[in-house]
Amino acid sequence: MYILAPSVLAADFGKLAEDTAKAREGGASYLHLDVMDGAFVPSISFGMPVIASLRGYTDLVFDVHMMVEDPGRYVESIRAAGADIITVHQEACTHLDRVIGQIKASGAKAGVALNPATPVSTLECVLDQVDMVLVMSVNPGFGGQKFIPYTLDKVRALRQYFDRKGLSTDIQVDGGVNRDTIRPLIEAGANVLVAGSAVFGGDVKANVETFMNIFKE
């Protein structure tokens, strides 16, 4: 079962609800929401008020990618805004175990993200606790960047680990995912695919349908 998580970072923010509805019509079940603080990553995107507003317009699963320093400060408020999945960066958490516990206590699913240069081994102690691992396939902060191929090895290593343990933990990939890069990712074991520019650039519904057809192959 593959899941497409369109990243609204590439959407027209003046028509966020409309673009979201088009993604849903095409068959997307998740909506990927990139929260950036201008500190963990250079850019600033949006936060709780935007997510809470959008929550009133769609029933898509809100998959919130927290690109912020010390994200534990925001777990409860991002959950209250409507997050179903909260993903924090390993690099941004001094007390990762505590933050994962906080996310689970909030009732959301817990994800942990790795920047391209951060090895999978940094998650060794918490892998069995998380619902999803997000392998960043670009350096976070901007949409429309080029896919970094060596990140495929990390996806493979994670899938091998979860298979060996009999765990059905989700493996998400984010950055430079398009109709050319998606196949090797699926083969490597990714099952939640984030796509920003490949979805919101052009005809949103048709772009989502293209991905859904690739999933059926």
Question: Quick one: what does residue 171 bind among ligand DX5, Zn ion, none, with the CB cut-off 5 to 8 Å set by partner type?
Answer: none
Question: Quick one: what does residue 144 bind among Zn ion, ligand DX5, none, with the CB cut-off 5 to 8 Å set by partner type?
Answer: ligand DX5
Any idea what the Cα angle at residue 92 is, between residues 86 and 96, rounded to 5°? 65
Q: Considering beta carbons, is residue 60 or 165 the nearer one to Zn ion?
A: 60
Residue 191's contacts (CB-CB under 8 Å, 6 or more residues apart) are: 1, 2, 3, 170, 171, 172
Nearest distance from C-beta of residue 174 to ligand DX5, angstroms? 5
Nearest distance from C-beta of residue 179 to ligand DX5, angstroms? 12
**Nearest Cα residue to 143 out of 68, 196, 207:** 196
Q: Considering beta carbons, is residue 119 or 144 the nearer one to ligand DX5?
A: 144
Q: Which residue is nearest to Zn ion (CB)?
A: 65
| Interatomic CA distance for residues 122 and 62, integer angstroms | 26
Active site residues: 34, 174
What residues are designated binding site?
7, 32, 34, 65, 141-144, 174-176, 196-197
What residues are designated binding site for a divalent metal cation?
32, 34, 65, 174
